[in-house]
Every structure is written in C-alpha cells, then in structure tokens.
Amino acid sequence: MGNNNKMVFVMVDGIADTSIPQYERKTTLQVANTPTMDAMSSSGINGVMDPVEPGFACGSDTAHLSILGYDPRKYYRGRGAFESMGAGLDMQPGDIAFKSNFATIDKSSGIVILRRADRNFEHLGPTLCDYLTGIKLPSFPNYRVDVKYATEHRCGVRVRGPNLTDSITGTDPLKDNLPLLKATPLDINSHDSILTSKIVNELSDEIQKALENHPINIERREKGLPVANVVLLRGCGVCVEAPTFKQKYGMNAFMIAPTCIIAGLGMSVKIDVIESEGGTGDYHTNLQSKADTLLKNILDVDNDKYQFGFLHIKAVDDAGHDKNAPLKIEFLEKIDKMLHFIISQLAIAQNENKGNFTICLTGDHSTPVLTGDHSYEPVPFTICKVIEADKIINKKNDDNNINNNNNSNSSNCFSDNVKVFNEIESTSGVLGRFPGGQAMNIICQYMNN
C-alpha cells in the first residue's frame, strides 16, 4: 500500500429505511437534505450492500465483522464479549460475557414489561453496575461476576471461573411483554454447557433480588418511572481469535466508536479505539467532536501512525428503533453537515501534500421506522476521492478545474452515473448489489487507484 494513501470509513448505524406513507412513500434518506452525501455519490462509485448476505436481518456485530472482512460464520462467538470489552472489561480465555439490558419485569408474573427500562440511564447505570459487580452466587462460590456500564440501558456482564462455555441460550425474550427466559444448554450432552446454564440462571435470579429494592428503584417507583429490576443476559460470547486488521490489510487502523459493542469488536482485531469527548452512542452525541477526533488522528503527519480511520455513528439507528422518522431525518442531515466538514478539511490537507484521501459511507443494516427493528434490505454504499467530492460540494467540478490540482489524481478517478445517495438511486451504481464481505476489497482497491 502506498504510504500516502489514507482511508476514512464512515459507518452510519441503521442508515437505510423502507418507504414511509406520510412521506409520500419515500424513505428517510430520500426525504433528508443531504447534499454532501449526494456529492460523494456523484464523484465516486456506488452500489447497495447486503451487510452479511441477502435476506438476512443482521445485528451490528455480525454486520461489522462481515464488512471488515471477518466471516461471522467463522469468527462470531456472541456479542457479549464485544459489549463487555468495549465497556472496559478485559476478556481472558475461559471467560464468558453478555450484552445486557437493564429492564423492567413484573415479579408476580415473570413478564418482561420493558426490555429497556430507560434510554436515558447514563446517570444511573454506572451506580447499578458497581452495585452488581462481585455479586455472590450461593451455589457457585468459585465464580466471579463483573458488570460494567455501556451506554443508555446497556451493560456488559462478565463471568469468570472454570469450565464455562458460550454454548448456552440467554434470558432475553427479545420483545416486550414476554416471559423472562431461562438459559438452556445448546449441547445437552456437554457437562460445561449444562453447568454454565445453571450458573447463568442463578446469576439472573440473584441480580433480580439485588435490584428489586435498590434505592434507585425505590425512588423510580415513587416517581412513577419504570424500575430497572432485572438484567437481560443475551449474546453469550467468548474472545474472538482472528487475524488482526493490520495482518489482513497492511494498514494501521483506529476506530471512533462510543457504542461498546463496536469498540469491543475493534479491540478484538487490534484496531485502536480512540475516545472523542462528548461523542456518545446515543442522541446526545457530539458529532463535531467525533469529526475533530477523526481528523486529528488521520492527519497526524508527524507520527503518520494511521492509514485507516473508522467512524461509527449510532443515533440514526436509535431513531429507527424508536419509530421516530423526523428524528432520523434530523440526524441524517446533521451527519451530512459533519461529512461536509470532514471532506473540506481533508481536501485542504491533500492540497498541502499531507496525504491522498478516500472516504467511504455506508451502514451496517436497515432499521425502518415502520417496524422499529433491523430488517433485511440492503444498504446504500458509496466511495469516492475526497478531492473530487470537495470540488462538487464547492461547485468546482467543471472541465477547466479538473486537472488544476496535481494531487487530485483525477485522470485515475473512477466514477459512475449515480448522483444521489439513497437506497433506490444507489442500486444503479457500478458496484451493483454485493455482500458485506467484499466491502474491504472494494475499499482497498479504490483507495489505491
């Protein structure tokens, strides 16, 4: 790889949508005003991507593994390890971990009324996690439990001890108003699988006992707010053993991903996870801080440490889950402005011979506001040379200007006829429809063209 070629990969979680009646059967991307995304499509190549495979409604973890070039069928061992590592819990061989929700259960019936006790839980979650860390399991005193707050209603739960396995089911019913599940062994002939399911069920029971009359929940009851009296344990996972990102692609990479599950996935393949101040994984995120952090690291000419920067943005997905079309549109437009800033700054840097920059934009799955859940539709994908996108943004893409910049490599710039970035227009791009496992090959070839 050329030392001067650098890549910025922007991943908008839940970016794609389906047509919405109140918007004249348009998607949220079609409705949103996104001139920067359109400039990227106009100056680059486009297509639509099935993050894992056609017809599969994937989660963010399997999608990101696939898109980064790691076949989830081979490398996926449950999202719990990713969530826990991203939250700050180290994982050792033999540990199991869960991606977990603080939720509300009706004690009398065992029905999980709300899988998310409250999205705005950042001030309460850390206190409850500290309270649960070290919780004792009466029947299994040799096992250690640690809990770390992640974001919103989420936390990571790690269990450490002998003979544990991820070959079990979880306790999360996955929908509101269904009974809390019992963990069961996936291999009924395995001693470890049977043992682990018993440990997890006792852990679930002990957590409920501990949370029921915690002062936070007493206060929430008095205020008429949903209590956080159960932790749903799902995605039991262990450490991923995979080639590092550097080994696969010959690039040093960093990731800005306040969502713990994505950060943990990055850590698993030795991508450096860098924090941005105020860059959260929710509606309160500071997009400018994320952009500034991205630019600071990809433009660090003195150290020249990174050739690949990955920026993950979560809020669009939350708006889809919350069935809030106006909010999803609002965030898409905010992201478009952030992209404008990133591209303009990278173009300036390229004109100063600080690198040749390529930028890619896509999503990890669809989250339609009509259903409030992940779906199987492909997502739009675009990749372009920053210098060319900047010309279109600034209305300088006329024939007289194309060859004025020696750094632009315009004669080698390949583009198609797509002018608008959305789920419909992108289908006519030269990339066609492709699986996520091909994304990094496309990125590597295009950035070095």
Check whether residue 17 and residue 69 sit in a common domain.
yes
Check whether residue 264 and residue 346 sit in a common domain.
yes
Check whether residue 384 and residue 408 sit in a common domain.
yes
Ordered per-residue pLDDT tens for the chain, 449 residues: 445 899 999 999 999 999 999 999 999 999 999 999 999 999 999 999 999 999 988 888 889 999 999 998 888 776 677 777 777 788 888 899 998 999 999 999 999 999 999 878 888 999 999 999 999 999 999 999 999 998 788 899 999 999 999 999 999 999 999 999 999 999 999 999 999 999 999 999 999 999 999 999 999 999 999 999 999 999 898 877 789 999 999 999 999 997 888 888 898 899 999 999 998 888 889 999 999 999 999 998 766 799 999 999 999 999 999 999 999 999 999 999 999 999 999 999 999 999 999 999 999 999 999 999 999 999 999 999 999 999 999 875 454 444 444 334 344 568 899 999 999 999 999 999 999 999 999 999 999 98
The residue from 237, 271, 287 where one domain ends is: 237
Q: What is the model's pLDDT at position 390?
A: 96
The residue from 194, 218, 237 where one domain ends is: 237
Q: Which domain holds residue 263?
A: 5-75+243-447
Q: What is the model's pLDDT at position 405?
A: 41
Check whether residue 43 and residue 192 sit in a common domain.
no
Question: Distance (Å, rounded) from C-alpha 167 to C-alpha 299?
Answer: 44
Cβ atoms within 10 Å of 441's Cβ, excluding its own? 12
The residue from 221, 237, 253 where one domain ends is: 237
Number of domains in the chain: 2
Check whether residue 216 and residue 248 sit in a common domain.
no
Q: What is the model's pLDDT at position 3?
A: 55
**How distant, in Å, are the alpha carbons of 7, 22, 49, 83, 146 from that of 93?**
33, 51, 34, 16, 16
Q: Which residues pair with 168 in a beta bridge?
A: 185
On whether the pTM is more than 0.85, the answer is no
Check whether residue 192 and residue 267 sit in a common domain.
no
Check whether residue 66 and residue 27 sit in a common domain.
yes
Check whether residue 288 and residue 432 sit in a common domain.
yes
CB 325 within 8 A of CB 23: yes
Q: What is the model's pLDDT at position 395?
A: 75
Burial 126-149 (b: 16+ CB within 10 A, else e): eebbeebeebebeeeeebebbbbb
- CATH number of the structural domain spanning residue 380: 3.40.720.10
Q: Which helix (H) or strand (E) holds 42?
A: helix 35-43
Question: Distance (Å, rounded) from C-alpha 374 to C-alpha 57?
Answer: 6
Tell me which DSSP letter residue 186 carries.
S
**How distant, in Å, are the alpha carbons of 170, 297, 319, 427 from that of 65?**
21, 23, 23, 23
Q: What is the model's pLDDT at position 411?
A: 41
CB 381 within 8 A of CB 47: yes
Check whether residue 290 and residue 203 sit in a common domain.
no
What is the 3 state secondary structure string of 240-277?
CCCCCHHHHHCCCEEEECCCHHHHHHHHHCCCEECCCC
Check whether residue 115 and residue 89 sit in a common domain.
yes
Nearest to 274 by CA among 283, 262, 284: 262
Check whether residue 143 and residue 189 sit in a common domain.
yes
Check whether residue 289 and residue 427 sit in a common domain.
yes
Sign of CA dihedral 175, 179, 182, 185: negative
Q: What is the model's pLDDT at position 413?
A: 65
- CA 325 from chain centre, in angstroms, equals 20
